Structure 1
């Protein structure tokens, strides 16, 4: 008997972040495949030709082994300048490590072999952060004029430091961060004139005047904040 299993997700920032990381990895693989070139001492070699030659050599060796025929030997080397034998286990599916390849040689990222620690740490940080809302006193008190965030907070003798982990994009925040035309200019003028925004936590039980730096994009004709940095928390304002 078939069973239907439904998973309810109240807040899916983690899933959105994982989808974004998957898109980054897909693009990096596409970049490697389309580049298709490897620097050599004597020039460049087409990646497709290299793979085809290695596969052909493997087939010949397998047939020779099956029929007891000695195929190649110590002198059977690829004539390509700068040729290096295949690594144990076959052709490296990640291709060459070239400058600009975001998946090559980056410690702690999901693009390295066994290096998912970076993504795991990012997910843990996101899960341990708390919800916050950034509002702007110069705009009407409407949800679409606010930016939903996930933040971590540190306090000490120097005051408070707020680290924005993510701009929330989950279904629970779908009615926020869709500003009207003209709102971006009003926010820019307010901040440039020394004004502040309001960071609210715990459903408004904690509020702090802050100075944010905002990065913008446009979605469906509406200005949308894509990144936030809290530069300063101003106590006493």
Structure 2
């Protein structure tokens, strides 16, 4: 039987992940302008005109994406008759919604599909806080790994999926292992020792066999990724 416990993320790990995602996708205005202005066909325009046209085109592209296309305007202003063309959507004199309008009573446009970033944040919010400790190491916060985990219980026992290794100000004193700790961890695991996974406020604690991916930060070993291979019950 699967269980689900929703908690509030009180750390800044979500912000950190969002920032990393933004850095990976963001294109600076300087680079955008550089790309837009490098078109040789615009060599006859001065800088102000190039920027104005480039930004104007970006605005038009955004509007086209939002409204599904903009009506073509006559080259010399409004059509003969003195009336400006209707904006996308609206109501005709008979009171009938024009095609550009959302369906009356539908509450506006349909919401957009969740993005990958939305799903990542949702998973982090839905996961639980946990702390991975190593009984054979010194009792020091640096020798612990704060996690966000999803748990599922079944006839086979308990399975643990690590959603994230927590980072941020509230856990800055953790996951900065002492020199030589990585060797102690490797030797202990090879001789059958287990780590300890403690959930939330400590009401639940399990012996686990983890797989750890290590990095070094200023010479100190740091765990970058954790996979819980087995939860051990009994002696």
Asked if TM exceeds 0.5, the reply is yes
**Which residue does the alignment assign to 2:22?**
22
Unaligned residue ranges in structure 2 (runs of 5+): 1-8, 45-52, 54-74, 77-111
When residues 202 and 51 of structure 1 are mapped into structure 2, their CA distance, relative to the original with a 3 A threshold, is same
The structure-2 alpha-carbon separation of the partners of 1:158 and 1:55, relative to structure 1 and needing over 3 Å to count, comes to farther
Q: Deviations over 1:70-119 (max 9, x none)?
A: xxxxxxxxxxxxxxxxxxxxxxxxxxxxxxxxxxxxxxxxxxxx765211
Confirm whether residue 220 of structure 1 aligns to residue 227 of structure 2. no
Aligned to 2:129: 131
CA offset at residue 234 of structure 1?
Answer: 0.9
| Aligned counterpart, 1:37 | none
Alpha-carbon distance between aligned partners in 2 of 1:116 and 1:220, rounded to the nearest angstrom: 38
Residue 154 of structure 2: aligned partner: 156
Structure 2 counterpart SS, 1:175: coil
The 2-side partners of 1:51 and 1:236 are apart by: 70
Q: State whether structure 2 residue 189 is matched by structure 1 residue 207.
A: no
Q: Is 1:229 matched up with 2:227? A: yes
Q: TM-score, normalised by structure 2?
A: 0.60
Q: Equivalent residue for 2:143?
A: 145
Q: Distance in 2 between matches of 1:11 and 1:49?
A: 42
Q: Which has the larger radius of gyration?
A: 2
**Secondary structure, in 3 states, of the residue corresponding to 2:201?**
helix
Q: TM-score, normalised by structure 1?
A: 0.60
> Structure 2: how far apart are the matches of 1:225 and 1:120?
25
Q: How far apart are the structure 2 equivalents of 1:17 and 1:146?
A: 21
Q: CA deviation at 1:225?
A: 0.6
Q: How much is the aligned-residue C-alpha RMSD, in angstroms?
A: 3.0
| Structure 1, gaps ≥5 residues long | 1-8, 34-46, 60-64, 67-113
Matched position secondary structure for 2:142:
helix
Q: Which has the higher contact order (CA 8 A, sep 6+)?
A: 2
Indicate the residue corresponding to 1:180 in structure 2. Answer: 178
Deviations 1:140-191 (Å, cap 9, x if unpaired)? 1111110000111011112111111111112111111010110000001111
* Over 6 Å off, 4+ runs: 47-50
Deviations 1:22-69 (A, max 9, x none): 12224xx59xx8xxxxxxxxxxxxx8899544898xx9xxxxx67xxx
- Residues in 2 aligned to 1:10 and 1:55: alpha-carbon distance in whole angstroms: 53
